[in-house]
Amino acid sequence: MKTVKLLLIFFFIFMLLGQVVLSKQGFASEDSLGENLVRQLWADMKKPDMDAIEKKIAKGFQSIHQYGADNREQEIKLIRGLKLGEYTLSDIQITRNGPVIVATYFVSVEETIMGKRLSKKPAPRLSVFLKTDSGWQWIAHANLKPSK
């Protein structure tokens, strides 16, 4: 009887550990997916690869910057004129709810926005991606870097 109880206890512990490991792997893959989306977006903006960027930006895209809100067309125009220097992405945090990935992160980059060269000091950003039939689309962005 003791042997059966011990076997059952070990079985339940094994099952719980397996679920924890599998759930951590799911989070890791979602985290890496979201991080990859952010890193690819920044790589495309640095080149700039406008064809790739235009394919990624959803029709209903919205962003907020230090000067106000942009729609899809305004954001594309802004990215064309960014003139990004070297950049560093850090503290990337990913959450996923169904087909939506929210990425918050810090970026240290010299960039020119609306004719103003901004500081390279790290500043927070937020990007939101939506999974669609045509792949992941960038649907929203917040640039929380203050102007000088």
CA distance 50 to 61: 16
Instruction: Report which secondary-structure segment, H or E, holds 37.
Output: helix 2-46
Question: Quick one: three-class SS letters along 80-130?
Answer: HCCCCCCEEEEEEEEEEECCEEEEEEEEEECCEECCEECCCCCEEEEEEEE
More confident of the two residues 36 and 25: 36
pLDDT tens, position by position, 105-144: 999 987 666 677 667 789 999 999 999 999 999 999 999 8
Asked if residue 18 lies in contact with residue 50, where contact means CB atoms within 8 angstroms, the answer is no
Say what the pTM is. 0.76
Domains present along the chain, CATH in parentheses: 2-143 (3.10.450.50)
Q: How many CA atoms lie less than 13 Å away from 73 in the CB half-sphere?
A: 0
